[in-house]
């Protein structure tokens, strides 16, 4: 099988086009986010999430950025910027999806054979999940974080991780590539989204505490544009709760594949070791949430450490350590 160079080049153009769209989207979302004021405290959002959690004593989600009914003719500037961000996000995601598709067609296989392709597809998954979720609810306040991280991942994919379209090494020629790598990619996207929620939770929580104590906080203005910390905490937990079984599946699928390709299902290859460390770290996070004295900020820090383990496994292990998972250019 050869490589269709023309398709590969068009794929690159599409990805660059997507990056341009995501850049516009990021700027628009940033403007939208910045134009929100603390006074933009709107009624509770109308989605099922967030409201009436736990003991029901706290009315959560009392403010949701850019939510609420707005008259079509008199859109405030922030609202308009949010709309621009949303539509360019759609454009960028479609371009990126086509780019990933052409990349796959150019080499007649799933475009998940190396870090460049993995990062490209993960970025697409993040953007698509965000758009999918925002169909039913207003997530424009989150847009700036999503478009920034998507842009960052794509930038890395096209520079540091960049690899020409090429065929695979024999070890990767298996249908398990579809199963194992797609699960790992969805996890990568969800890890990223979960970590974003966690960081935002930490900021919102700190701001709320400082406000209660009557002290100042340099990120207070930023935090006032976010949903309530309890809501962010819920979103982070739900993302990670979805993620953990899927990550378990990715590891099991990888083990089955490894048994078939390398003759053992688990061999403490550096990649396997860090997948295990990541798994244990997320397990620790879930346990911490149920342990007195570890709820809230402490377990959020554990979630971030777990995310750090995933990132190190993806970037650090591929570049620094040689192992059985070293292939595909980078």
Residues 232-261 that bind another protein (CB under 8 A): 234, 237-238, 241-242, 244-245, 248-249, 252, 255-257, 259-261
Residue 151 or 253: which CB sits closer to another protein?
A: 253
Which range binds another protein by CB under 8 A, 26-34, 46-54, 148-156, 199-207? 46-54
Q: How far is the CB of 309 from another protein (least distance, A)?
A: 8
Q: Single out the residue of 37, 108, 160, 262 in contact with another protein (rule: CB under 8 A).
A: 262
- Binder to another protein among 52, 70, 75, 319 (CB under 8 A)? 52
By the rule CB under 8 A, 314 interacts with another protein: no
Residue 116 lies near another protein (rule: CB under 8 A): no
Residue (148 or 174) nearer to another protein, CB = 174
Given 17, 267, 296, 308, the residue binding another protein (CB under 8 A): 267
Residue 245 Cβ, how far from another protein at the closest point, in Å?
A: 4
Q: Tell which phi-psi region holds residue 66, choosing left (phi > 0), alpha (psi between -120 and 50) or beta.
A: left
CB of 134 vs another protein, minimal distance in Å:
20
72 binds another protein (CB under 8 A): no
- From residue 256, alpha-carbon distances to 57, 71, 156 in Å are 48, 56, 30
Rounded to whole angstroms, the Cα distance separating 212 from 290 reads 26
291 CB-contact burial (10 Å; exposed 0-12 / middle 13-18 / buried 19+):
exposed
Tell whether residue 301 is a contact of another protein (CB under 8 A): no
The answer to the question of residue 53 lying near another protein (CB under 8 A) is: yes
Per CB under 8 A, which of residues 77..96 are in contact with another protein? none
In this chain, which stretch among 24-32, 33-41, 131-139, 264-272 interacts with another protein, using CB under 8 A?
264-272
Judged by beta carbon, residue 124 or residue 257, the one nearer another protein is 257
Q: How far is the CB of 21 from another protein (least distance, A)?
A: 27
Q: Does 47 bind another protein (CB under 8 A)?
A: no
In the bound state with another protein, the residue whose beta carbon lies nearer, of 37 and 264, is: 264
- Is 136 an interacting residue with respect to another protein (CB under 8 A)? no
Which lies closer to another protein via its Cβ, residue 122 or residue 313? 313
Report how far apart, in Å, the C-alpha atoms of 9 and of each of 41, 173, 275 are.
Answer: 48, 23, 33
Q: Which of residues 149-168 bind another protein (CB under 8 A)?
A: 163-164, 166-168
**Residues 282, 240: contact at Cβ < 8 Å?**
yes
Q: Indicate whether 107 belongs to the interface with another protein (CB under 8 A).
A: no
Q: Are 306 and 278 in contact (CB under 8 A)?
A: yes
169 binds another protein (CB under 8 A): yes
Q: Taking CB under 8 A as the rule, does residue 290 contact another protein?
A: yes
Question: Binding segment for another protein among 87-95, 117-125, 209-217, 231-239 (CB under 8 A)?
Answer: 231-239
């Amino acid at each position: 099988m050869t490589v269709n160079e023309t398709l590969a080049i068009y794929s690159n153009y599409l990805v660059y086009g997507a990056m341009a769209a995501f850049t516009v989207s990021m700027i628009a979302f940033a403007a939208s986010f910045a134009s929100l004021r603390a006074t933009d405290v709107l009624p509770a959002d109308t989605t099922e999430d967030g409201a009436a959690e736990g003991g029901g004593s706290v009315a959560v989600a009392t403010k949701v950025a850019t939510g609420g009914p707005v008259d079509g003719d008199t859109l405030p500037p922030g609202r308009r910027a949010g709309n621009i961000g949303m539509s360019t996000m759609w454009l960028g995601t479609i371009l990126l999806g086509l780019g990933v598709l052409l990349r796959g067609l150019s080499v007649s296989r799933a475009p998940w054979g190396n870090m460049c392709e993995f990062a490209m597809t993960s970025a697409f998954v993040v953007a698509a999940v965000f758009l999918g979720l925002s169909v039913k609810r207003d997530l424009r306040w989150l847009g700036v974080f999503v478009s920034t991280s998507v842009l960052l991942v794509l930038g890395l994919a096209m520079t540091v991780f960049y690899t020409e379209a090429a065929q695979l090494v024999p070890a990767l020629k298996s249908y398990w590539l579809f199963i194992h790598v797609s699960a790992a990619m969805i996890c990568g996207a969800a890890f990223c989204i979960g970590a974003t929620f966690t960081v935002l939770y930490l900021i919102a929580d700190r701001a709320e505490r400082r406000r209660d104590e009557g002290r100042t906080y340099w990120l207070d203005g930023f935090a006032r544009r976010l949903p309530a910390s309890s809501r962010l905490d819920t979103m982070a937990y739900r993302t990670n709760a979805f993620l953990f079984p899927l990550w378990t599946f990715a590891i099991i699928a990888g083990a089955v594949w490894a048994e078939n390709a390398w003759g053992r299902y688990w061999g403490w290859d550096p990649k396997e070791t860090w997948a295990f460390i990541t798994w244990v770290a997320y397990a620790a996070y879930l346990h911490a949430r149920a342990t007195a004295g570890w709820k809230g900020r402490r377990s959020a820090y554990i979630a971030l450490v777990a995310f750090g383990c995933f990132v190190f496994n993806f970037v650090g292990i591929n570049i620094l350590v040689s192992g059985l998972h070293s292939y595909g250019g980078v």
